[in-house]
Structure 1
Amino acid sequence: MSIHWQYVRHDKLDSNLLDAEHSLHQSPLFCDASLAALLDAYPRERLGIWTFGEHAEGDERPIFGTANDLSGEEILEAVKKGRIWLNLRATNELVPHYAETADHIFDSLQSRMGQRIIKRDMSVLISSPGIHVHYHLDIPLVALLQVRGTKTLYLYPEAEQFAPTERLEAIALGEGDESLFFESAFDAHVQPVELKPGKGISWPQNAPHRVQNGDMMNVSLSCEFMTWPALFRANALYANGRLRRSFGARPGRPKGMAPATFGKAALARVFKKFERGETTPEPRDPAFVLDLDSPGAVRTL
């Protein structure tokens, strides 16, 4: 298994990106039979099953579904026939024989970045031909490695115009999902990145993005992680959100590893200590169920 990262500069972004060349697409872990076995082995209650509308302006939200008692092979068939996006979060922790693959990815990133990588979460993404993943951002750092199929990643600058500070703080606080409001004018600043099997990329923390699949089933590895600077930034965002909501403060975005960032990160620990156990997530009701006998392999509930 080989993974090689290099820093590259793209015209439309202020920060360098990390591009990867890898051999993961040659692994037997990602053939149809292995993916069906993975879906059977993965805890069904943890399986993220989503669909998305067509790409458009506005605040597009993912729609949550369920597979009920379908087998892994049947779920895979539904993905090939429909507009489905499966997210198997923390596959490296929940299905042990994928842990070595994750270790190779994260260790290679750690070596290239020269920073310790913590909070390692490798998700296997299995998605339908042609599906568009809405405009959103992630709080951790992310590396996306393409294993099967092709997709285009559309990256936007990490700036107020593309992700307002208050919305960024809300995402850090876990208020709703990671969606952002999209305007077609943003595409004047977009950096498209074509991903084919054997390619990968990691982008700046909190950079907004959207993804368009090619006309075939896609398999990708979405690897979320933190470095210590990234963790301090995430906690500073959390603290800023609490200060804005509870005390009427108007904090700006965290600026690198400044003293204020360290102070906000420490304050976040205090907030989290007092908030622990006070709220529990509301259960999510599925809007559809995978059904091979229905058009598009989906039946609305």
Structure 2
Amino acid sequence: MSLHQPTSPAGKEAVAFDREARALFAAAYPDQPQHLTHRLAGHPLLSLAALADLAERMPADSVEYNRGDLPLGIRPEDTPANGLTLGETIRTIESNGSWAVLKHVERDPAYAALLHDALEDLRPIVEASTGPMLHREAFIFLSSPGSVTPFHIDPEHNILLQIMGEKVMNVFPTHDEELVPPEQSEAFSQGGHRNLRWDDSFLPRVTPIRLTPGDAVLMPVKAPHFVQNGDGVSISFSITWRSRRSVAESELHSLNHKLRARGLPRVKVGARPERQWIGRGLFRVVERLGL
């Protein structure tokens, strides 16, 4: 091994994140967004041709694609289709004004290995903070020039790695109940849609993070954000995992959804929900009784 090659905490050569990136990640995880760098730009599995081939062999429920000229706030049922097949969308994405996501690409063995190797660089840091990396998953986003991903939240710890093109991740504070009201967090925990209501008064709270190939951003669980693509085609590789903390938060919001429906007082979801043993125990009782 070259003396100049970055190594992982276990002493192996780092696949995606060098020593500096890991140090920045450790300082921010799990609660703060953080700009990082990575080493996967130009990887053959993440080329446009390879992704078009991958998309065409994926099941229909693992892909989503639509027009990319969308407002920041849009109801899911109002999202327009682009009139193309998935393969056509990816192969002509430079000119068709679309946005596409390939979900759970870890179901393909080659992409599963890439996900594993990238997360392995960070696993010791995550385990020391929030316990084991649970439910590891990967998503690939492809966007036409100028496309927009509307204001939304995601349920996982997420690092978005920019592979091709440019985009701006516009990140907002977590735990801001004006941005994400408790009722929406509760519905989201029950499978509700990720899109959020947008209001221009939210803009002063944004932190824009510009991404070019080789850049990445750590996104905390349920950090509200929207994405603006640059002037070229964008490919981004999203590597995600759950933790004891994210699972506990989802449990408590799910419990509150049921309590609210019955007009009962809700449980306050704190900064460390994994330590809220009484609320989590009540969630398990409610689930066991099927209430």
Q: Does 1:263 align with 2:278?
A: yes
Aligned mates of 1:156, 1:150 — CA distance in 2: 20
| Partner SS for 1:192 | strand
Aligned mates of 1:210, 1:121 — CA distance in 2: 21
> How far has the Cα of 1:2 moved from its partner?
3.0
> How far has the Cα of 1:205 moved from its partner?
1.7
- Tell me the amino acid that sits aligned with residue 262 of structure 1: W
| Partner SS for 2:264 | coil
> How far has the Cα of 1:254 moved from its partner?
0.9
| Partner SS for 1:80 | coil
Q: Does 1:87 align with 2:87?
A: no
1:173 aligned residue: 190
| Partner SS for 2:122 | helix
1:248 aligned residue: 263
2:118 aligned residue: 105
Aligned mates of 1:235, 1:213 — CA distance in 2: 34
**In 2 relative to 1, CA 264–85 (structure 1 residues): closer, same or farther, beyond 3 Å?**
farther
Summarize the alignment of residues 215-230 of structure 1 with structure 2, pairs less than 5 Å apart.
215-230=231-246
Is there any run of 5+ residues in structure 2 with no aligned partner, and where?
Answer: 1-14
Question: Higher strand share goes to which structure?
Answer: 1
Q: Does 1:164 align with 2:177?
A: no
Aligned mates of 1:40, 1:262 — CA distance in 2: 45
> How far has the Cα of 1:190 moved from its partner?
0.6
Q: Which moved more, 1:254-263 or 1:182-191?
A: 254-263
> How far has the Cα of 1:47 moved from its partner?
1.6
Of 44, 48, 59 in structure 2, the residue corresponding to residue 43 of structure 1 is: 59
> How far has the Cα of 1:119 moved from its partner?
0.7
8 Å contact kept, 1:142–1:205: yes
Report % sequence identity: 23
Summarize the alignment of residues 137-152 of structure 1 with structure 2, pairs less than 5 Å apart.
137-152=153-168
Aligned mates of 2:83, 2:283 — CA distance in 1: 37
- Tell me the amino acid that sits aligned with residue 88 of structure 1: L
- Tell me the amino acid that sits aligned with residue 125 of structure 2: R
**In 2 relative to 1, CA 15–46 (structure 1 residues): closer, same or farther, beyond 3 Å?**
closer
8 Å contact kept, 2:67–2:82: no
**In 2 relative to 1, CA 35–15 (structure 1 residues): closer, same or farther, beyond 3 Å?**
closer
Once the two structures are superposed, residues 132-183 of structure 1 have per-residue CA deviations (whole angstroms, 9 ceiling, x without a partner) of: 11111112222211111110001111211211111111111113x1111111
Aligned mates of 1:258, 1:126 — CA distance in 2: 34
2:11 aligned residue: none
**In 2 relative to 1, CA 86–59 (structure 1 residues): closer, same or farther, beyond 3 Å?**
closer
1:77 aligned residue: 91
Aligned mates of 1:8, 1:215 — CA distance in 2: 32
Normalised to the residue count of structure 1, the TM-score between the two structures is 0.79
Aligned length: 267
- Tell me the amino acid that sits aligned with residue 101 of structure 2: N
8 Å contact kept, 1:24–1:147: yes
> How far has the Cα of 1:230 moved from its partner?
1.6
8 Å contact kept, 1:233–1:261: no
Aligned mates of 1:91, 1:128 — CA distance in 2: 20
**In 2 relative to 1, CA 43–59 (structure 1 residues): closer, same or farther, beyond 3 Å?**
closer
**In 2 relative to 1, CA 232–34 (structure 1 residues): closer, same or farther, beyond 3 Å?**
same
CA RMSD of aligned residues (A): 2.8
Is there any run of 5+ residues in structure 1 with no aligned partner, and where?
Answer: 277-301
**In 2 relative to 1, CA 248–202 (structure 1 residues): closer, same or farther, beyond 3 Å?**
same
Aligned mates of 2:289, 2:80 — CA distance in 1: 31
8 Å contact kept, 1:78–1:84: no
Aligned mates of 1:152, 1:66 — CA distance in 2: 23
